[in-house]
A and B are shown apart, each in its own frame.
Chain A
């Protein structure tokens, strides 16, 4: 336990904050600590977590990606047309197509960054605008509602009825979220590539001199973000059952805020999948709690913004130097 707190101070603090908020909500809002509500929280935030762990890899590698939510919209559109043209498709084809298209968009970002030596924020902001413009231009803003059944039918992992008659359950996006978390964890913590990503993000020049292939790092990082963007887009359609060109716009900032909240550093070299998950959940639980308590929707964004501010500003604040002293005590 103490080792965990020392090794993962941000994550430990997030867990503590979430625990306090949950404890408070369980008294303030009787319906908070019900299975129906907790499962809904997971279902509703699965896509954000998928995107967050994807984005995490780019953040660790010292970059930033503003374009992934729009990329997910583009993937949804192209995928919808591919499925229609092949007469339906199935989940396997769906994952291959959405993941593949996502990786392609990621590689586009990576090529521009690597071959033209442009900084990541500029490339991805440019791509964000270019992709969104292209999407609106080609589709004239039309939404697609007529989608293959396999794609829009909810896939329950478990479904139960509680004593008071409320139905609840966990659905496919939660399983995919778990897979995305595991896969990303494995990539960044258990492979040489993962260690190289951290090294590259922390000190690109040092990494280059140590013989790390920088181009490879960019392609892996943005490819991974693209892959998760595509799969997140696929899951989003499974939840909302429609493809709307501008529906995902603006989500990139929520996800980015959550990832940073979870301890990913914008300068690169730091961040964990657990932190990402907790960051997304902290914002989600706050919003959910405000809804359940019947707090005026006027106050919503304000409270969420304040919590993000508080969490991020305290993360850089050394509590009386405690975090620096702790290791010496242990010795």
Chain B
């Protein structure tokens, strides 16, 4: 036993009695550190955390750093450890950068839940509301359904170096290849979907070069918007379908006109609620087993090797749902 462990033990014996009193009197505490504060996505998540905390009897709160900086997340988690919360939730900016501080948290007996970070180490569980395959396939299925299972389509990704977008695109292309052999992608994927303007210009060029094009699969938040505008400009609504994930507030007008066909997303408010539900289970010392049902995730199949719970709880964005989603500020 070295000096550090002695000190930790001594500290623990000092803190424990008070800690126990505090837990007995209060609800379990949960602190969720997200990528960045103040943006609509995480505002919605905070809403979810607050609502569900009040309902479930958890003392839950969200911490949003001022910029998407891993160092700020590390500091926020250090603060939570110092406050001796029961559960720490995290939506990591950089999985690697958080490993040491999360290890410290777990050593201090704090439970760790991650979201949108399946590769992160030192966690009790990571939960996902969308799998890369499920997300890509959902868009591909909808495209095939809209265009009757045949024709040429173009694929946009945010950048050729964004792993997630490319994983979605891979899954979508593989699905269409396997199930709808009459649908062919044109050429390589275009890395323009992080700019509405670039997406629009590229889509106009592609429409000129391929008059028989039937669809755009655009992964990257600005891609569907830009491609939708191009389709609207060329008055091809109903002939060319544009699918992809996008911000409902931004795409509201386009989707109602039909220039944007639709897409899928996951609900950040629901992710916030799931944080609280999983935190409560862990705080009560319950284990999550295969076949358990957790509200918001459905029946789960936790992977005990990677400590990931991956589910497909996609929310469709279409003319009927867009208003509700946009009103949440998304």
B146 at the interface (CB under 8 A from A): no
Q: How many A-B contacts are there with CB distance less than 8 Å?
A: 80
A291→B156 CA distance, assembly (Å): 13
Complex contacts, A293 vs chain B, CB 8 Å: 209
A36 at the interface (CB under 8 A from B): yes
- B208 lies within 8 A of A37 (CB): yes
Min distance, Cβ A160 to any Cβ of chain B, angstroms: 11
Min distance, Cβ B221 to any Cβ of chain A, angstroms: 10
Min distance, Cβ A140 to any Cβ of chain B, angstroms: 4
Count of chain B residues with a beta carbon within 8 Å of a chain A beta carbon: 34
Interchain CB contact (< 8 A) of A145 among B202, B211, B250: B250
Binary contact readout A24-56 vs B (1 if CB under 8 angstroms, 0 otherwise): 000001011010110010001000000000000
A129 at the interface (CB under 8 A from B): no
- B196 lies within 8 A of A247 (CB): yes
B253 at the interface (CB under 8 A from A): yes
Query: Which of the segments B132-140, B164-172, B184-192 contacts the partner chain?
Result: B184-192
B142 at the interface (CB under 8 A from A): no
- A140 lies within 8 A of B38 (CB): yes
- A240 lies within 8 A of B233 (CB): no
With contacts A288-B205, A294-B186, A294-B187 known, what are 20 further pairs, Cβ within 8 A? Answer: A32-B208, A40-B204, A44-B204, A142-B40, A143-B250, A146-B249, A164-B211, A168-B234, A239-B197, A240-B200, A240-B226, A241-B253, A244-B196, A291-B205, A291-B209, A292-B208, A292-B209, A296-B188, A297-B188, A297-B190
Binary contact readout A283-311 vs B (1 if CB under 8 angstroms, 0 otherwise): 00000100111101110000000000000
Which of B40, B196, B204, B252: most chain A Cβ within 10 A? Answer: B204
Complex contacts, A44 vs chain B, CB 8 Å: 200-201, 204
Complex contacts, B189 vs chain A, CB 8 Å: 297
Measured CB to CB, the residues of B under 8 A from A are 38-40, 160, 186-192, 195-197, 200-202, 204-206, 208-209, 211, 225-226, 229, 233-235, 247, 249-250, 252-253
A294→B188 CA distance, assembly (Å): 8
19 A–B contact pairs at CB < 8 A?
A29-B209, A31-B209, A36-B208, A37-B208, A40-B208, A143-B247, A143-B250, A145-B250, A146-B249, A166-B211, A236-B197, A239-B200, A288-B205, A292-B209, A293-B209, A294-B209, A297-B188, A297-B190, A298-B188
A31-B208, A291-B209, A298-B188 known; A145+B249 contact, CB < 8 A: yes
Complex contacts, A36 vs chain B, CB 8 Å: 208, 234
A242 at the interface (CB under 8 A from B): yes
- A residues 247-303 touching B (CB-CB < 8 Å): 247, 288, 291-294, 296-298
A236→B201 CA distance, assembly (Å): 13
A40→B209 CA distance, assembly (Å): 13
A31→B213 CA distance, assembly (Å): 14
Binary contact readout A121-141 vs B (1 if CB under 8 angstroms, 0 otherwise): 000000000000000000011
A30→B223 CA distance, assembly (Å): 26
A186 at the interface (CB under 8 A from B): no
A145-B252, A167-B233, A294-B187 known; A240+B208 contact, CB < 8 A: no
Measured CB to CB, the residues of A under 8 A from B are 29, 31-32, 34, 36-37, 40, 44, 140-143, 145-146, 152, 154, 161, 164, 166-168, 236, 239-242, 244, 247, 288, 291-294, 296-298
- B187 lies within 8 A of A296 (CB): yes
- A240 lies within 8 A of B196 (CB): yes
Interchain CB contact (< 8 A) of A142 among B39, B186, B225, B253: B39
A44-B204, A142-B39, A298-B160 known; A247+B186 contact, CB < 8 A: no
Complex contacts, B211 vs chain A, CB 8 Å: 31, 164, 166
Closest-by-CB residue of B relative to A250 is B195
- A297 lies within 8 A of B196 (CB): no
- A241 lies within 8 A of B206 (CB): no
Min distance, Cβ B283 to any Cβ of chain A, angstroms: 32
Min distance, Cβ A285 to any Cβ of chain B, angstroms: 11
Complex contacts, B195 vs chain A, CB 8 Å: 247
Q: Which 9 residue pairs spanning A and B have beta carbons closest together?
A: A291-B205, A140-B38, A167-B235, A31-B208, A292-B209, A37-B208, A297-B190, A296-B188, A40-B204
Closest-by-CB residue of B relative to A288 is B205
A113→B286 CA distance, assembly (Å): 67
Complex contacts, A37 vs chain B, CB 8 Å: 205, 208
Min distance, Cβ B141 to any Cβ of chain A, angstroms: 26
Which of B189, B205, B235: most chain A Cβ within 10 A? Answer: B205
Min distance, Cβ A322 to any Cβ of chain B, angstroms: 37
Min distance, Cβ A169 to any Cβ of chain B, angstroms: 8
- A291 lies within 8 A of B206 (CB): yes
A293→B210 CA distance, assembly (Å): 10
Closest-by-CB residue of A relative to B230 is A40
A227→B201 CA distance, assembly (Å): 25
A238→B247 CA distance, assembly (Å): 19
